[in-house]
Amino acid sequence: MSSSDSTSSVSFLPSGKTPQSSAISLYARATAGFEERLEETRRLLREAHAEFGDALLQSSSLGAEDMVITALLAELQLPVAVATLDTGRLHAETLALIPQIRAQYGIEVQVFTPVADAVVHFVKTRGENAMYESLALRKECCGIRKLEPLSRMLAGRGAWITGLRREQSANRAEVPFSEPDGQGRTKLNPLAAWSWADVWHFIQTRAVPYNALHDQFMPSIGCAPCTRAIAVGEDFRAGRWWWEDENAKECGLHKSKSNEELKSGAHA
């Protein structure tokens, strides 16, 4: 794919668009090679299900990429479990997608939540918005609200599917289609080669439900306190943990680590 086909030009808000522009009107466009990338993704999903069967799971953030994957699983009639993490700090618009998935695809999304006592203790001792105080506290919060529930979500699974794409950030520029996750499982990234334009072209042409916050200039959406809209000229993930150094902008979900580190909420 040539540089002109990549979405580096839309990793920030395109100029000339009004605040009323939808994410589809902002980003969706057909690009050279899309059908080939789509067919490759279909092949990867079929092969993953053939290899792992019931041990395969889609770990969905309910972001645009993950909604595409869920739609493809339904289209291909692959009985793959779909699960998500409800951290307790998600936007209402994010959670609203769970019943939409059920209604449109007949798929029940499994929801994993953090241990209530751990959250209460963290908030009581660290504060409701401790994530703004230091990187260590933000990662501790992610450990409690994301990593520990993720360890339960993936327990007993042989492989999991994510919506990671190479274009999302410098940290993800070399994301492979398949990789070991460091826990004896295989992590599959079937959209690794897709552009942001590809994602939205698929959403537009298949009427895939998506988070209404994408229409408010939030291309990357996490917990409410840790997500803001981006402006013209800003990077795709500039709205995530915007007060931190760019190299720190991962929550730990996509770092390889031991089971003990996952359980304790430690970060690489």
DSSP state of 59: E
Question: Rounded to 10 degrees, what is the CA torsion of 87, 175, 205, 66?
Answer: -20
70-77, long-range: CB < 8 A, 24+ apart: 70/101, 70/105, 70/107, 71/105, 71/202, 71/206, 71/208, 72/41, 72/42, 72/45, 73/45, 73/107, 74/104, 74/105, 74/106, 74/107, 75/206, 76/42, 76/45, 76/46
- Supply the pTM of this predicted model: 0.85
- Order the strands of the 109-112 sheet from edge to edge: 109-112, 81-85, 56-60, 159-161, 186-188, 178-180
Is 144:266 a contact under the CB 8 Å cutoff? no
At residue 257's C-alpha, the angle toward residues 166 and 170, to 5°, is: 20
Dist. CA 140–CA 239, nearest whole Å:
20
CA neighbor of 148 nearest in space, from 262, 27, 34:
262
pLDDT in tens, 107-159: 999 999 999 999 999 999 999 999 999 999 999 999 999 999 999 999 999 99
251 catalytic per annotation: yes
The region of weakest confidence among 49-53, 89-93, 240-244 is: 240-244
| Model pLDDT, residue 237 | 80
The catalytic residue among 141, 142, 226, 251 is 251
Tell me the average pLDDT of the chain: 87
Asked if residue 157 lies in contact with residue 185, where contact means CB atoms within 8 angstroms, the answer is yes
Judged by average pLDDT, the poorest of 57-61, 150-154, 188-192, 236-240 is 236-240
